[in-house]
């Protein structure tokens, strides 16, 4: 008999991933990978190992929109990617895109983040 997953009853986590440009999000949607700054890696890896699911909501700076969301498909490794051409990024990890669609922030203004002084989610 198969034992249940140790993460089965743990919460789902959500993170907003801000990209410096739309090109990075396009690359991620095409290749199913992402890379973030080293300062974010520990938090994301912790969530990946301790949560039943980690969803990443993407937005390019200055776009006024969310560009879609994905599920974190692997822990962040040490392998770097040259796809983004930025030496400030850490290791690559897999993302499974669920929705690839621009959604203006105005459609989410009713959502408030209780862990960020109840500010609007954007």
Q: Where are the domains of the chain?
A: 12-120
> Encoding tokens for residue 49?
């190992």
pLDDT number for residue 114: 64
* CATH code, residues 12-120: 3.10.590.10
pLDDT at 93: 95
Rounded Cα distance between 92 and 89, Å, is 9
Residue 3 pLDDT: 42
pLDDT for 84: 78
Q: For position 4, what pLDDT does the model report?
A: 47
User: Average pLDDT by consecutive 10-residue portion of the chain (122 residues)?
Assistant: 51 90 92 92 94 92 88 93 79 93 72 64 62
- pLDDT of 92 reads 93
pLDDT score at 2: 43
- What is the reported pLDDT for 116? 66
For the chain, first and last CA: distance in Å?
44
6 Cβ neighbours under 8 A, 6+ residues apart:
none
Evaluate whether 59 touches 21 at the Cβ level (below 8 Å).
no
């Amino acid at each position: 008999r198969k034992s249940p997953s140790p993460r089965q009853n743990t919460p789902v986590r959500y993170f907003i991933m801000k990209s410096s440009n739309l090109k990075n999000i396009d690359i991620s949607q095409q290749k199913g990978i992402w890379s973030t700054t080293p300062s974010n890696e520990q938090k994301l890896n912790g969530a990946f190992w301790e949560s039943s699911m980690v969803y990443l909501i993407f937005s390019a700076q200055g776009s006024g929109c969310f560009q879609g969301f994905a599920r974190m498909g692997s822990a962040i490794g040490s392998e770097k990617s040259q796809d983004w051409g930025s030496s400030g990024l850490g290791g690559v990890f897999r993302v499974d895109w669920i929705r690839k669609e621009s959604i203006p922030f105005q459609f989410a203004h009713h959502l408030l983040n209780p862990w960020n002084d109840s500010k609007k989610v954007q």
